[in-house]
A and B are shown apart, each in its own frame.
Chain A
Amino acid sequence: MPRVTFIEHDETIHEISADNDATLMEAALDNLVPGIDADCGGQCACATCHIFINDEWATKIPAREETEETMLELAEGVTEFSRLACQIRVNDTLDGLTVQLPEAQH
């Protein structure tokens, strides 16, 4: 099971083991990591699973598709590192991934 570290906005760290093939959103919710609301349950329709993934990892993850791009357009505090956690599936190549959480979901 790949290990993923979620860092909250106040720097609280949550290290979890994610199920292979779960999305990062599911992994966070299943492991009670706070800070991801996931109001649409993973259908890329709410943007309340907004996270940041830094450069070093970004290349190992498939790029944003159009719907994700569109939803992020309207999210708060978006940067080039922004992603929607429900659109990223965990696998072994992501073992050791670090994910940053925003101040709040909107």
Chain B
Amino acid sequence: MTDAATAMNADDAIPDPYSIPLDQIRMNQSRLFQNNAHGEYFRRLRKEDPVHYCAESEVGPFWSITKFDDIVKIDSNHKQFSSEPAISIGNPSEDFTTPMFIAMDPPKHDVQRKAANPGVAPARLADLEGLIRERAGKILDGLPIGEEFNWVDRVSIELTTQMLATLFDFPFEDRHLLTQWSDVTTNVDMFVSEEKIQERRASLRECLAYFTRLWHERADQPPKFDFISLMAHNPDTKDMINNPMELLGNLILLIVGGNDTTRNSISAGIVGLNQNPQEYDKLLADPTLIPNMVSEIIRWQTPLAYMRRTAKEDIEFQGKQIKKGDKVVMWYVSGNRDETKIENADELLIDRARARQHMSFGFGIHRCMGNRVGEMQVRILWEEILKRFERIEMVREPIRVNSSFVMGYSEVMVRIMPKDKH
């Protein structure tokens, strides 16, 4: 191992990005993100080597694309940059592959996406708005006043899980299972030993068995707008039940896609507003800023740090030679801080002009299908918060998850200030 590589062992302090030779920077290390140290690394890459090649890492060589416009170019070029076999830096394990449409190219991607899409399309969302508002209200009304508690557990996870149960029309009393399946899928600790890996697989097989039952029930019932009914009745996807691993893959996509991302956007609002009290003041003074703030929080947080592509042919890109088969990682978390594209990009500004023009939802044919549901949940939650509480005070530094992919929090301890005692 090189000096730089050994210098990055888990227990060591995180080195200054400028103390490491450029070609030895490895952005796949989750602890950079867990310690919120990735920002300065990306700043250096954007400035000195925006299309960066990492020749050696635990997951093999890969390119890092770090500037906004370059990411848009690659994300919208699915002909040369494939989403197969995977959209995370590591490759799927060979004995447990779960195909899903986020990691497929056309034409298969298109038909599967179209089958599920009505479950989160505008007409459906209009129907769900009242329900989400009622649930958000209930969750908020149940919170303790003046006492410390973890916002992630009590609010972020609870609201997104309830929503997910609705999108699947999943038995409400079993909804904690969805959170459990989502968590075993993404938690890096589930990959550390053979035992853990088997435990993870067993849990996902339970997920498949549960949904297989639901699928058969729904296939016999009249069509509805939940994801399972939509896929079970669509001529293009109704046979997916005969391909259990592909069914499981798409279930995982729909569960995880909507869960961690929205959960962490909800937590990020509390973190961001507390770290920028002047923005909290702006919000309290003018609640009509909420929709704009929602986009800004989603940019600032960038719930998914990256998506990976694989080059389908040799390509010259910004003067670099990308070879067929190379992994190309589009770092949204860096593009969203690109100072040449976004003014004061490091700052959370809830009244930012053109706040919608961020890259947290990706671009091109894989652009996030659930972006409007995600935004709607965060918006409604803040509308209901402002009706009830003066301030939600973060009482200590949040704890971030150990991942280079999911940008999120496991703990955000808060105390609520009631509206009248101010």
Chain A residues proximal to chain B, CB less than 8 Å: 37-41, 43-47, 67, 70-71, 73-74, 76, 103-106
Residue of B whose beta carbon sits closest to that of A103 = B122
Per the bound structure, the CA–CA distance linking A40 and B72 in Å amounts to: 8
Are A40 and B372 in contact, with the CB atoms below 8 A?
no
Question: Taking A45-B76, A104-B122 as contacts, is the C-beta distance between A39 and B117 under 8 angstroms?
Answer: no
Mostly, the A contact residues are: loop
Per the bound structure, the CA–CA distance linking A38 and B113 in Å amounts to: 21
**CB-defined contacts of A45 to chain B, threshold 8 Å:** 72, 75-76, 363-364, 367
Are A73 and B354 in contact, with the CB atoms below 8 A?
no
Question: Taking A39-B357, A43-B72, A74-B110 as contacts, is the C-beta distance between A106 and B121 under 8 angstroms?
Answer: yes
**CB-defined contacts of B225 to chain A, threshold 8 Å:** none
**CB-defined contacts of B361 to chain A, threshold 8 Å:** 39
Per the bound structure, the CA–CA distance linking A47 and B122 in Å amounts to: 14
Task: Tell me, yes or no, whether B356 is within 8 Å of chain A by CB.
Answer: yes
- Distance of A12 from chain B, by nearest CB (Å): 17
Task: Supply 9 further A-B pairs (C-beta < 8 A) apart from A74-B110, A105-B122.
Answer: A38-B356, A40-B363, A41-B357, A67-B76, A74-B113, A74-B367, A76-B121, A103-B122, A106-B122
**CB-defined contacts of A103 to chain B, threshold 8 Å:** 122-123
Residue of B whose beta carbon sits closest to that of A102 = B122
Chosen A-B contacts, 7 in total, with CB atoms closer than 8 Å, are A43-B363, A45-B72, A67-B76, A73-B110, A73-B365, A74-B113, A104-B122
Q: Given B75, B125, B354, B365, which contacts A41 in the complex, CB threshold below 8 Å?
A: B354
**CB-defined contacts of B75 to chain A, threshold 8 Å:** 45
Question: 1/0 per position for B346-363, CB-CB distance to A under 8 A?
Answer: 000000001011000101
**CB-defined contacts of A37 to chain B, threshold 8 Å:** 356
Task: Tell me, yes or no, whether B238 is within 8 Å of chain A by CB.
Answer: no
Residue of A whose beta carbon sits closest to that of B114 = A74
Q: Given A41, A44, A73, A106, which contacts B76 in the complex, CB threshold below 8 Å?
A: A44
Q: Given B76, B114, B121, B354, which contacts A43 in the complex, CB threshold below 8 Å?
A: B76
- Distance of B332 from chain A, by nearest CB (Å): 13
**CB-defined contacts of B76 to chain A, threshold 8 Å:** 43-45, 67
**CB-defined contacts of A74 to chain B, threshold 8 Å:** 110, 113-114, 117, 365, 367
Residue of A whose beta carbon sits closest to that of B367 = A46
Question: Taking A39-B356, A74-B110 as contacts, is the C-beta distance between A46 and B117 under 8 angstroms?
Answer: no
Are B364 and A76 in contact, with the CB atoms below 8 A?
no
**CB-defined contacts of A40 to chain B, threshold 8 Å:** 72, 357, 363
Of the candidates A38, A40, A67, A103, the one having the most CB atoms from chain B within 10 angstroms of its own CB is: A40
Question: 1/0 per position for B118-133, CB-CB distance to A under 8 A?
Answer: 0001110100000000
**CB-defined contacts of B113 to chain A, threshold 8 Å:** 74
Per the bound structure, the CA–CA distance linking A41 and B356 in Å amounts to: 9
- Distance of B341 from chain A, by nearest CB (Å): 9
Per the bound structure, the CA–CA distance linking A44 and B364 in Å amounts to: 8
**CB-defined contacts of A67 to chain B, threshold 8 Å:** 76
Are B117 and A71 in contact, with the CB atoms below 8 A?
no
Per the bound structure, the CA–CA distance linking A44 and B75 in Å amounts to: 11
8 A-B pairs with least C-beta separation: A104-B122, A45-B363, A45-B76, A41-B357, A76-B121, A39-B356, A45-B364, A43-B72
**CB-defined contacts of A46 to chain B, threshold 8 Å:** 363, 367
Q: Which of B59-76 contact A (CB under 8 A)?
A: 72, 75-76
- Distance of A58 from chain B, by nearest CB (Å): 24
Per the bound structure, the CA–CA distance linking A73 and B106 in Å amounts to: 11
Per the bound structure, the CA–CA distance linking A38 and B358 in Å amounts to: 11
**CB-defined contacts of B357 to chain A, threshold 8 Å:** 38-41
Q: Which of B96-144 contact A (CB under 8 A)?
A: 110, 113-114, 117, 121-123, 125
**CB-defined contacts of A41 to chain B, threshold 8 Å:** 354, 357
**CB-defined contacts of A71 to chain B, threshold 8 Å:** 364-365
**CB-defined contacts of B122 to chain A, threshold 8 Å:** 76, 103-106
**CB-defined contacts of A38 to chain B, threshold 8 Å:** 356-357
**CB-defined contacts of A106 to chain B, threshold 8 Å:** 121-122, 372
Q: Given A39, A43, A70, A105, which contacts B365 in the complex, CB threshold below 8 Å?
A: A70
Residue of B whose beta carbon sits closest to that of A40 = B363
Residue of B whose beta carbon sits closest to that of A45 = B363
**CB-defined contacts of A73 to chain B, threshold 8 Å:** 110, 365
**CB-defined contacts of B372 to chain A, threshold 8 Å:** 104, 106
Per the bound structure, the CA–CA distance linking A67 and B364 in Å amounts to: 9
